[in-house]
């Protein structure tokens, strides 16, 4: 591991202190370091443990905009060989075969995005982080206190050490302890659903096509991985999910095949399976004096559209651009005036994704004639109206709306 | 950043506390100075871009003004002095109001920035025979009784090859409506009596003062409010900025 990943570095003053060294925290650290800011990342887990597959067996959809940003901040080159391009997205209802079909050729022949296993993303981020001489990872350490003054902020670590910066960024996940410490509330609700995640190996090529089937328990997504493998994100009613999760391999594979159908030929699960409770939350504020929330600490969505990581990466791109624009004018980048630009930029976009994913989930898991009717008409209508379809496709790619420059692959 | 050396000048602790409290209000973006805070990024980007171009400095680095000296005339609480110090310049801020200088010193100490603040006018500095690479003259000329001699003194303080940045308000019907009637009375952005319209300066008059002081006028740009944000534009109808160079 590179020399700047240690617990005994001499520096104690930075431009930004990132609390949380997950995918979003490390992305923010790399982006901030790339534009020339001095960054420290405080991570509670030892980074060797972060790199083990038992820590996180999931895979993530990397939208095109996110991929461009990861390339711009020096991360993509370390994960490119693990990335499966997504050429098509097919959405179907449980009663009919194929209602909605998004083909990348309808845009300009560029892939929608990529599927990459989280462990590969983490490896790439750690590799890229180690290349920045102005990026320091302090692990395994937790933040026990935060103090904010007129001119600065400081976090105290569990070994008594104090690390200072004009801005502290919370990238410490859904339950964000830092968010609680500064008293920002994040209201939300839980879904009566769990997500089961596993990897399958299958007989026929998936041709880079992602499938999302709306089954009675919730969406069942088949996401192509490199080779003849796919990541399944299987949403199911909580009780049933727990039973399914507990099945032995043979019976679990039978249940998978029932839902998957035969288009990939024979299929069986490989490696471990995981299950996660599903919940949604949205912080009342993203910023406070010398504090910014980024990624899951600010918002968590239903995984129905595979947008959680992409939303967080957009936060990273927007915050990085706001910070460097102000730093280059000599302005104090931890003030509310500066940070509110970040919140204004991201809040509407994130809130609309929170709402859309919630409505989609309710629409597709609910039984009832009207709901079924509007669902069928809705999918068919989207398919027949090219402008509307392109709007959804651009969003799937993450290249719509007012984009931070990093999402276009430019370094601000 | 270096620790400020100004705190020892304010010996009485009760005074230190009093000025610290005022400093927070001066620097409170929702307080009386909110419009200055709001307009500050646009003014700074104009100063930054012109000075980087003039002194051939890389505009994308953290401290492009390293090695340059700045005199901020009418510095107020230090809204320009602090950013320019972070950009690497060695900054002197002068203001005739003692309370304002105390506030500026207290805030710089809190930010741990080293800035030389003095209770002075440009005329009082001329005799010292010091010269500065950058002289800032923002929102000052409309507050002085003799703009001609004020500009002369500022020009004398400019080093050869130096650059002066000016800003003021145009004197026309539109500026009367927007700066006085709207900003002070209707919207309440500024305290009533902040501006005296008859002292506003037409661009032609500013150009004359600058030339009479032996400087070359290099640019005049507008500052306008677009979609809630201040921007540098070509509309010089109300707020405007100018660049004058000592060749």
Inform me whether the pLDDT recorded for B26 exceeds 70.
yes
- pLDDT tier, B136 (very low <50, low <70, confident <90, very high otherwise): very high
Q: Which pLDDT does position A332 carry in this prediction?
A: 96
Span B166-205, pLDDT tens digits: 999 887 777 777 777 667 766 666 666 667 777 788 899 9
Supply the CATH classification number for the domain B13-245. 3.40.50.150
Min Cα separation A58/chain B (Å): 39
Inform me whether the pLDDT recorded for A262 exceeds 80.
yes
Inform me whether the pLDDT recorded for A30 exceeds 70.
yes
Q: Which pLDDT does position A307 carry in this prediction?
A: 76
Sign of torsion over alpha carbons B74, B76, B78, B83:
negative
**Which residues on chain A are in Cβ contact (under 8 Å) with B62?**
36, 327-328
**Span A348-365, average pLDDT:** 73
**Domains (ranges, CATH) in chain A?**
16-83+116-188+281-408 (3.50.50.60), 191-280 (3.30.9.10)
The reply to whether residue A151 touches residue B110, judged by beta carbons under 8 angstroms, is yes
- pLDDT tier, A388 (very low <50, low <70, confident <90, very high otherwise): low
Six token digits for residue B9: 């000048």
Span A67-119, pLDDT tens digits: 999 999 999 999 999 999 998 888 776 655 445 566 666 556 677 889 999 99
Min Cα separation A23/chain B (Å): 27
Min Cα separation B44/chain A (Å): 6
For residues B157 and B244, what is the distance between their CA atoms, to the nearest angstrom?
13
Under 8 Å CB pairs connecting chains A and B tally to 46
The answer to whether A39 and A18 have CB atoms below 8 angstroms apart is yes
> Which H or E run contains A50?
helix A47-50
CB-closest option in A152, A329, A332 to B45: A329
Inform me whether the pLDDT recorded for A382 exceeds 80.
no
Q: Choose the mutation target among B83, B85, B89 for the interface with A, i.e. most A CBs under 10 Å.
A: B83
The answer to whether B45 and B232 have CB atoms below 8 angstroms apart is yes
Q: Which pLDDT does position A380 carry in this prediction?
A: 55
Span A287-327, pLDDT tens digits: 999 999 999 999 988 776 667 899 999 999 999 999 999 99
Q: Which pLDDT does position A3 carry in this prediction?
A: 40
**Which residues on chain B are in Cβ contact (under 8 Å) with A326?**
41
Average per-residue pLDDT in chain A? 85
Using DSSP, state whether A379 is helix, strand or coil.
helix
The reply to whether residue A331 touches residue B44, judged by beta carbons under 8 angstroms, is yes
When mean pLDDT is compared across A148-152, A206-210, A306-310, A406-410, the lowest value belongs to A306-310
For residues A289 and A228, what is the distance between their CA atoms, to the nearest angstrom?
49
Inform me whether the pLDDT recorded for B50 exceeds 70.
yes
Average per-residue pLDDT in chain B? 85
Give the whole-number percent of chain A exceeding pLDDT 90: 56
Span B73-117, pLDDT tens digits: 999 899 999 999 999 999 999 988 888 898 899 999 999 999 999
The reply to whether residue B44 touches residue A330, judged by beta carbons under 8 angstroms, is yes
For residues A325 and B45, what is the distance between their CA atoms, to the nearest angstrom?
10
pTM of the model: 0.88
Give the residue from A174, A410, A161 showing the smallest Cα distance to A281: A174
When mean pLDDT is compared across A72-76, A262-266, B53-57, B115-119, the lowest value belongs to A262-266
**Chain A CB within 8 Å of residue B2 CB:** no
Strands, sheet with B158-169, edge to edge from the N-terminal-most edge strand: B116-119, B90-95, B69-73, B132-138, B158-169, B239-245, B216-226, B229-233
Domain extents for chain B? 13-245
**Chain B CB within 8 Å of residue A327 CB:** yes
Q: Which pLDDT does position A2 carry in this prediction?
A: 42
């Amino acid at each position: 591991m590179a020399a700047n990943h240690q617990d005994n570095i001499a520096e104690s003053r930075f431009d930004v202190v990132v609390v949380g060294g997950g995918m979003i925290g490390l992305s923010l650290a790399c982006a901030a370091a790339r534009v020339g800011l001095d960054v420290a990342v405080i991570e509670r887990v030892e980074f060797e443990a972060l790199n083990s597959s038992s820590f996180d067996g999931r895979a993530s959809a990397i939208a095109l905009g996110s991929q461009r940003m990861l390339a711009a901040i020096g991360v993509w080159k370390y994960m490119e060989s693990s990335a499966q391009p997504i050429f098509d997205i097919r959405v179907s209802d449980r009663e009919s075969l194929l209602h909605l079909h998004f083909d990348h050729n309808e845009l300009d022949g560029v892939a929608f995005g990529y599927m990459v296993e989280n462990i590969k993303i983490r490896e790439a981020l750690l590799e890229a982080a180690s290349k920045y001489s102005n990026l320091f990872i302090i692990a395994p350490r937790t933040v026990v206190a935060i103090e904010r003054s007129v001119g600065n902020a400081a976090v105290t670590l569990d070994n008594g050490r104090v690390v200072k910066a004009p801005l502290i960024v919370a990238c410490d996940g859904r339950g964000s302890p830092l968010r609680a410490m500064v008293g920002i509330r994040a209201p939300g609700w839980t879904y009566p659903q769990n997500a089961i995640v596993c990897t399958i190996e299958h007989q026929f090529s998936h041709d880079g096509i992602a499938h999302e089937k709306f089954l009675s328990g919730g969406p069942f997504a088949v996401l192509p991985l490199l080779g003849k493998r796919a990541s399944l994100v299987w949403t199911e009613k909580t009780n049933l999910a727990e039973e399914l999760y507990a099945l032995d391999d043979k019976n679990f594979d039978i249940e998978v095949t029932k839902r998957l159908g035969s288009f990939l030929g024979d299929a069986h699960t490989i490696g471990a399976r995981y299950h996660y409770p599903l919940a949604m939350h949205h912080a009342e504020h993203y910023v406070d004096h010398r504090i910014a929330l980024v990624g899951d600490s600010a918002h968590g969505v239903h995984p129905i559209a595979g947008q959680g990581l992409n939303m967080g990466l957009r936060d990273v791109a927007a915050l990085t651009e706001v910070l460097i624009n102000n730093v280059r004018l000599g302005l104090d980048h931890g003030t509310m005036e500066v940070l509110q630009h970040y919140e204004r930029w991201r809040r509407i976009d994130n809130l609309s994704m929170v709402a859309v994913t919630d409505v989609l989930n309710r629409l597709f898991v609910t039984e009832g004639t009207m709901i079924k009717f509007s669902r069928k008409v809705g999918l068919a209508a989207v398919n027949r109206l090219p402008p509307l379809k392109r709007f959804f496709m651009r969003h799937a790619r993450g290249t719509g709306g007012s984009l931070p420059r990093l999402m276009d692959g430019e370094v601000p | 950043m270096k620790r400020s050396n100004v705190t020892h000048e304010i010996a009485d602790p009760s005074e230190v506390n009093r000025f610290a409290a005022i400093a927070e209000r001066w620097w409170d973006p929702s307080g009386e100075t909110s419009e200055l805070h709001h307009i500050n990024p646009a003014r700074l980007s104009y100063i930054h871009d012109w000075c980087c171009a003039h002194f051939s400095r890389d505009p994308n680095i953290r401290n492009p003004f390293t090695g340059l000296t700045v005199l901020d005339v009418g510095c107020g609480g230090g809204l320009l002095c602090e950013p320019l110090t972070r950009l690497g310049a060695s900054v002197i801020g002068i203001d005739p109001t003692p309370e304002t200088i105390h506030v500026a010193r207290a805030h710089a100490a809190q930010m741990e920035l080293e800035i030389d603040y003095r209770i002075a006018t440009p005329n009082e500095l001329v005799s010292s025979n010091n010269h500065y690479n950058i002289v800032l003259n923002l929102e000052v000329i409309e507050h002085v009784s003799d703009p001609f001699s004020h500009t002369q003194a500022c020009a004398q303080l400019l080093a050869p090859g130096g650059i002066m940045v000016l800003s003021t308000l145009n004197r026309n019907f539109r500026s009367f409506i927007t700066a006085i009637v709207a900003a002070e009375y209707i919207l309440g952005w500024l305290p009533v009596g902040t501006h005296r319209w008859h002292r506003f300066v037409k661009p032609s008059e500013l150009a004359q003062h600058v030339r009479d002081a032996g400087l070359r006028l290099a640019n005049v740009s507008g500052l306008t409010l677009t979609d809630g944000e201040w921007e540098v534009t070509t509309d010089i109808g109300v707020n405007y900025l100018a660049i004058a160079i000592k060749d």
